[in-house]
Copies of this chain bind each other. A is one copy, B any other.
Amino acid sequence: MASAPKKANGNNADALIFSDDPHHPANHICTLCHQFYGHGWVTGTGGGLSIRKDNHVFIAPSGVQKELMRPTDMFVMDFQTGEYLRRPTSLKPSACTPLFLASFTKRNAGCCIHTHSQWAVLVTLICEQNLQLAPPTSTTPQDWPQNAIFSIKEIEQIKGISRGGVGSTEILEGGRKAGNLGFFDTMEIPIIENTAHEEDLKDTLERAIEAWPECCAVLVRRHGVYVWGKDVKQAKTQAESLDYLFQLAVEMHKMGMKWV
């Protein structure tokens, strides 16, 4: 994690991002960006990350090398008004901003992660070609195209995914999390089509969030995935579990195995 001066410089905007606490969002986003670079999720300045804390939204900027990310690169927005409380003059705000905000406003998420993971992209390509079609199920919206759903079931890692997006973490008897999917559940993630400009995904992303009240993620065809959670831990561990499932699904597909 980047080192920070012990004291903020008196500037109100900078006070928002200087902290000795590694879990302060401005520090935490940097640590996570470094880790995600190692996973291949944010190659070549791609991908992004936002944390909402109380009324402040912290957002990694556009076009920054994520493995070099520092707290001073951070944008901070007022969640109520949508105005920037801190805006580094040499940097551009992330085009993902309206998409991060959609998960915060519509799902009460506290953290949203956007990756360009190749496994996510490959899963959307396999679905695009109708090579692995989702079966009609009770949770699929009536009007959702079959090739726009990634479905998988009976893989243990599915139990790492919450039911209802930003689910409870209460542990029921037997160790199963109340709000999480079970091994025999079918996990479904909607896929939306990509657009020329990332911010134009906002409407379809919001529609997907509304149509799939149980989802904690939306895949973007030929692009990547958005994953959210009530806090950093839930968003990050769900992003890991989903990426694991995407990778496994690609390997299964290569060997002629069905996902459901």
Contacts and interface: CB of A to CB of B under 8 A. Distances in A.
Contacts of A199: 174-175
A222 B154 contact: yes
Copies in the complex: 4
A233 to B, nearest CB: 7
Nearest to A38: B38
Contacts of A248: 118, 121-122
Given A121-B248, A236-B65, A247-B118, A176 B196 contact: yes
Contact of A196 (B131, B177, B184, B224): B184
A72 interface: no
A183 B175 contact: no
A15 interface: no
Contact residues on A (Cβ < 8 Å of other chain), bracket: 35 or more
A197 interface: yes
Contact of A157 (B46, B160, B241): B46
B236 A156 contact: no
Interface of A: 40, 43-46, 62-63, 65, 92, 94-95, 116, 118, 121-122, 125-126, 129, 131, 154-157, 160, 169, 171, 174-177, 182-184, 194-200, 220, 222-224, 233, 236-238, 240-241, 243-244, 247-248, 250-255, 257
Nearest to A180: B63
Given A156-B222, A237-B44, A253 B255 contact: yes
A247 B241 CA distance: 20
Contacts of A175: 62, 92, 94-95, 197-199
Nearest to A119: B251
